[in-house]
Amino acid sequence: MDNNATTRVAPEVLEVMLPFFKDKYGNPSSIHSFGGSVKKHINTAREQVASLLNAKPSEIFFTSCGSESDNLAIQGFCREHAGNTKLITSAVEHPAVRECCRSMAGNNIPLHEIGVDNEGLLDKEMLGKISMDNHTLVTIMWANNETGVLFPLQEIAEMVKKRGGIVHTDAVQAVGKIPVNLQDVPLDMLSLSGHKLHAPKGVGAIFIREGINIAPLVYGGHQEHGIRAGTENVPYIVGLGKACELAAEHMEEENTRVRAMRDRLEKGLLESCKDAKLNGYPEQRLPNTTNISFEFIEGESILLLLNEHNIAASSGSACTTGSLEPSHVITAMGVPDTLAHSSIRFSLSIYSTEKEVDIVLRDMPDIVDYLRRLSPFVKE
């Protein structure tokens, strides 16, 4: 129930990766055929990623993860446009974007954070009031990792492009779950991560549209056309390519069977658990994600008891990192403290089953009732 945190590696992905650990281990930059023959598999993977995004293979560059891709987009743009850059982002971004932007702001780069309403929808009016030019980078996530709320990226991108800005999106949670067509959506850069769509951890990619220039973060060899130096992680790149191919095949399942399971889970929890509230806009959401608050109890306590029932979920609160502060996403939505501290995210995948949903629906009400009896905030 925590597939937004990571997903299992698809069996088909593992199968195509294995030869590159044993038999096809050559360096793709080598001039000899043993290494050079590996290069074609990287090219195939690049085509597979590009196909899922409806982009050109030449616009796809491999990285180690989504966080690196985000940092490459933001820091790379700021370095390329040194002295003139302006950054615009949202108040609910993943830390990979949020902390990177704030780091750049510490270097005297102007930063604007756009707020959201109580359903997690972006304040587009505020975005429209900020001046932009070709030194302005707007980095807005496609889908929120905690609530699953989708931002209207096509509308946002068109607005920014008309005003001269450059657009990047952290699409780590969106790619593989909803259709992404970069011929229709005028984005300049897009980040994705392998382990969110059934590839292994340790591989990601960034789309950089032709004509957009950014400075690299890692200098060295000529790999990835000079955008990202370092010998390519061939097995994982091959695995990412296969995962993207499979994601295209399973897109309909994500948006029908998985969505139906998510809806059944969500409806059941809201009906069976008193004082439960959905966080996020009900309609414009990822098909696999629900975020629910259970008023008057701590999210950490819920997670610990779920874990005793062998159920893995995630809290919208940062309390598991030693802080009792609620998630910045939930806070930005104006959720009251009594609800913000108790938000729990359930996120499914194509490997989730109806039986697993049944188990959560069976055990969660008892967990909530037990914690409510212990809560000093609940009056009999």
Give the angle subtended at the CA of 289 by the CAs of 94 and 299, to the nearest 5°.
Answer: 75
- Assigned CATH topology for domain 11-247: Aspartate Aminotransferase; domain 2 (3.40.640)
- The C-alpha atoms of residue 155 and residue 153 are separated, in whole angstroms, by 5
Q: Catalytic site residues? A: 319
How many Å apart are CA 356 and CA 154, to the nearest integer? 35
For 317, list phi and psi in degrees, rounded to 5.
-95, 150
How many whole angstroms separate alpha carbon 348 and alpha carbon 3?
5
Structure tokens at 369: 């009732």
175: exposed, middle or buried (Cβ count in 10 Å: 0-12, 13-18, 19+): buried
The hierarchical CATH code for the domain 251-374 is 3.90.1150.10
Please tell me the predicted confidence (pLDDT) of residue 324.
63
Residue 351, sorted as left (phi over 0), alpha (psi -120 to 50) or beta, turns out to be: alpha
Other C-beta atoms lying within 10 Å of the C-beta of residue 221 = 13
Sign of CA dihedral 130, 212, 182, 246: negative
What's the Cα-to-Cα distance from 153 to each of 141, 211, 300, 341, rounded to whole Å?
Answer: 8, 20, 33, 29
| Cβ proximity of 290 and 278 under 8 Å | yes
Give burial (CB, 10 Å; 0-12/13-18/19+) of 310: exposed
The span from the CA of 79 to the CA of 154, in Å, is 26
CA distance 293 to 299: 8
Pairing of strands 86-90, 111-114: parallel
Identity at 115, one-letter amino acid code: G
pLDDT tens track, the chain, 380 positions: 999 999 999 999 999 999 999 999 999 999 999 998 999 999 999 999 999 999 999 999 999 999 999 999 999 999 999 888 999 999 999 999 999 999 999 989 999 999 999 999 999 999 999 999 999 999 999 999 999 999 999 999 999 999 999 999 999 999 999 999 999 999 999 999 999 999 999 999 999 999 999 999 999 999 999 999 999 999 999 999 999 999 999 999 999 999 999 999 999 999 999 999 999 999 999 999 999 999 989 999 999 999 999 999 998 544 444 556 788 999 999 999 889 999 999 999 999 999 999 999 999 999 999 999 987 766 55
CA 8 and chain centroid, separation:
16
pLDDT of residue 380: 55
Predicted pLDDT of residue 84: 86
Alpha-carbon dihedral angle through residues 98, 7, 195, 242, given to the nearest 10 degrees = -140
Can you give the pLDDT at residue 325?
Answer: 76
pLDDT of res. 372: 92
Q: What is the pLDDT of residue 277?
A: 96
pLDDT for res 315: 86
Where do we find the tokens 């938000």?
Answer: 343
> Taking the domains of the chain in order of start, what are their residue ranges?
11-247, 251-374
